[in-house]
Amino acid sequence: MERDIMKGKGRFILKDTHCLKINEKHIKVKTSDFNLSNGLLILGTTSGEFQLMRITGHTPEVIQEFEIGSFQIDQVTLNSTGNWIAMGVVENG
């Protein structure tokens, strides 16, 4: 199922969804952001967890894993330096 997604000035098409396995646990990724300058990747999941990772080479390293509640995280964003994380949860305001 394809779905058009409007983000900023670009247009993206969601073609598929995937699960990710981290530390022997399968998670369903809802949103993500990547900071190219320092290799930080943040993933927000449908279960209210987020993972902060550093991408070096071919293997991502989990830096930190948090749970902010039972509501899915709808949006995550890193600032340009990777020092701040912003999250949006529609069900929780």
- Please check whether residue 87 lies inside any domain of the structure: yes
pLDDT value, residue 1: 43
- Please check whether residue 86 lies inside any domain of the structure: yes
pLDDT value, residue 75: 92
Q: How many domains does the chain have?
A: 1
Mean pLDDT over residues 2-24, rounded? 56
- Please check whether residue 9 lies inside any domain of the structure: no
End-to-end CA distance of the chain: 28
- Please check whether residue 78 lies inside any domain of the structure: yes
pLDDT value, residue 13: 56
- Please check whether residue 4 lies inside any domain of the structure: no
Helix, strand, coil in percent for the chain, rounding step 5: 5, 60, 35
Q: Is pLDDT at 81 greater than 80 in this prediction?
A: yes
Owning domain of residue 66: 19-92
Whole-number Å distance between alpha carbons of 62 and 23: 9
- Please check whether residue 10 lies inside any domain of the structure: no
- Please check whether residue 14 lies inside any domain of the structure: no
